[in-house]
Chain A
Amino acid sequence: MAVLKTILYLIVYPGLLFLFVYSTFCEWFDRKVYARLQNRMGPTHTGRWGLLQPVADFFKLMSKEDIVPDKADKTLFTLLPIVGLAIVVTAGLLLPLWSVSDAGAGMVSFQGDIIVLLYLLSLPTLIFFLAGWSSTNPFSEIGGTRVLTMLFGYEVPLFMAVLSPAILADSWRMAEIAQFYRDKPLLILPNLLGFVIALICVQAKLERTPFDIPHAETEIVGGTFTEYSGKKLAFFRLMTDIELVVASGLVAAVFLGGFPGGIGLGLLNFILKTLFVIFFLTLIRAMTSRIRVDQVVSFSWKYLAPLAVLQLLIVILIKGLIL
């Protein structure tokens, strides 16, 4: 029975199937809001209000011809999308999405899961780099190096911004951090700065405008994905979508008080809060133009990192003086 239950968790909810459905929905939401912000329509025809458009895109890519370049490292080239997808889905399991016990833990929950989640979210960057490097295309290689260059920019501020609420809550477990802020909602306020920094860094991690430098289509064609096609590209796209869900779930769990309320209400909470975060990400995407990779690094070290330190300082002061 326990095995069956675990398999159910892994495959259906909150595992693969749920993440697939929800991430395609999030992509639809992102596209629709982006289009409406630009006075356009966005997807309209596949399914009601175009809801099935991302699913249709996925299946269309799945049925397309799959080409592997002659000079590419074939094993690596083929394995990367699968491994990448596995990584982000695993990260999705760590979200404190659903109460197994009363503590409001997720499918897997332990002391230090926030660190593991951050680590799992860093891995896709490496996957992208390897994907670019293994396709032996000049555009992909430039894209790959840009991925790594950007990583040095946003990773540190992201960690500092996400960990500062954890320090205040005195826990390394997401469920407990969320519980802490639900008990003392006013303490969410000192973390506002961290929330903004985390949003910007998540935007950079997901490689969306203004940080879509590694696959800037007008500069380096498809960037890291130039040589990818068919099923592999479909997996990569799904992987980016799931990463969007997981990253926004992380931000929502840490900064917005998690997702209380059991299976039903907790799910509703999850959807509302992640969509709230995704809405902000879409706003940033619509508001800005792409910047250069050197501007990313200087921006994050000149502004984001000092601000993140300031956030840490605020949190430590509050912890020391008030609590």
Chain B
Amino acid sequence: MRLAVFLPELVRHLFKKPATVDYPFKKLEVPKDFRGTPFLHPDICIACRACERDCPAEAIEITAVSDVEKKFKMIIHNDRCVHCAQCVDSCPTNPVKAMEMDHLFELACFDRHDLKMEWIFVRALPKKEPKPAAPAAGPAPS
């Protein structure tokens, strides 16, 4: 037990650069695999609805616009999304996933309806060997 044990450490930091970042004006980089906002590549999607089924927050909604043209509408409700990226894992398209996550995390907005994202697309044809909707698509490690 000594008096003023913290003193040297405090004074040492007095003229050092602060550890904090001036946030809204300066931003830190997010890591490369960051789970941001989900988005759809409408040209690849085969409308299998695996993402809709597995989404824990019911944030994905796929409806058929016209059965003749095989046209579908997909809505992602970003106000409900919990950013778990299960839709990316569930997506059976290979090797490029139709669902992907970007790096956006500043989603604040005045109206939750503004957070809705919509795509109307024609269903892509599945490749020859479409993988089943596996809950875990673990890549093989080295």
Contact = CB atoms under 8 A, between A and B. Distances in A.
A40 B20 contact: yes
Interface residues of A, number: 12
Interface residues on B, range: 10 to 19
Interface string A38-63: 11110010000000000000000000
Contact of A287 (B10, B16, B19): B10
A131 B112 CA distance: 44
B4 interface: yes
B18 A36 contact: yes
Contacts, number: 33
A287 B13 contact: no
A37 interface: yes
A41 B18 CA distance: 6
Could you tell me the dominant secondary structure of chain B's interface residues? loop
A243 to B, nearest CB: 24
B13 A36 contact: yes
A44 B10 CA distance: 20
26 contacts: A35-B18, A36-B13, A36-B14, A36-B18, A37-B10, A37-B11, A37-B13, A38-B10, A39-B13, A39-B16, A39-B18, A39-B19, A40-B18, A40-B20, A41-B18, A41-B20, A41-B22, A44-B22, A283-B7, A283-B10, A283-B11, A286-B6, A287-B4, A287-B6, A287-B7, A287-B10
Interface of B: 4, 6-7, 10-11, 13-16, 18-20, 22
Interface of A: 33, 35-41, 44, 283, 286-287
